[in-house]
Amino acid sequence: MIDPFQTHGAFSWSELRTDDVEKAKAFYTGVMGWTTEEMSMADGGTYTVLKAGETSVGGLMAMPEEAKGAPPHWAVYVTVDDVDKRLKMTTAAGGSVLMPPMDVPEVGRIAAVADPTGAAICLITYSGKECD
């Protein structure tokens, strides 16, 4: 079995960005049976980790300022060997950078890109983990 947090090209995290965190939590804990764990974010906000049993399976957060106006949506993250290298490859291949790279303390480096058709996807290189 692959480790999605260490395997280049693997889907590794899903994150709901919403305007109503409490309503989303109530829905997903009720329908999916997920439990939640709150974490403080560096910007002072709160991040909610979604868990299936003891396993973290995703997260949810209030819509970030830079995404205001967008409808609530799930963002999916793909593990990559080097976010910055993959951003250069994205633009060279006709894609675009939607969110420039940023470091998330104790998590890794993330960015969001769009392919040439406009479909968005997030890239992540986890801290302290080498990709296979």
List pLDDT tens digits, range 78-122.
999 999 999 999 999 999 999 999 999 889 999 999 999 999 999
Domain span at 116:
1-13+68-132
Bridge-based pairing state of the strands 55-62 and 46-52? antiparallel
Residues 109 and 127 in one domain: yes
Residues 118 and 83 in one domain: yes
CATH number at residue 79: 3.10.180.10
Contact 64, 17 (CB under 8 A): yes
Q: What strands lie across the sheet with 108-114, from one edge to the other?
A: 35-40, 46-52, 55-62, 11-18, 73-79, 120-126, 108-114, 96-104
Residues 127 and 73 in one domain: yes
Structurally, the chain folds into a number of domains equal to 2
Rounded to an integer, what distance in angstroms lies between the CA atom of residue 125 and that of residue 6? Answer: 8
Task: Tell me the three state secondary structure of residue 26.
Answer: helix
Q: SS3 helix, strand, coil % of the chain, rounded to 5?
A: 20, 45, 35
Residues 76 and 111 in one domain: yes
Residues 77 and 113 in one domain: yes
| 56 pLDDT tier (thresholds 50, 70, 90) | very high
Residue 31 has pLDDT above 90, yes or no: yes
Residues 106 and 127 in one domain: yes
Residues 58 and 72 in one domain: no
Residues 86 and 120 in one domain: yes
**DSSP annotation of 67:** G
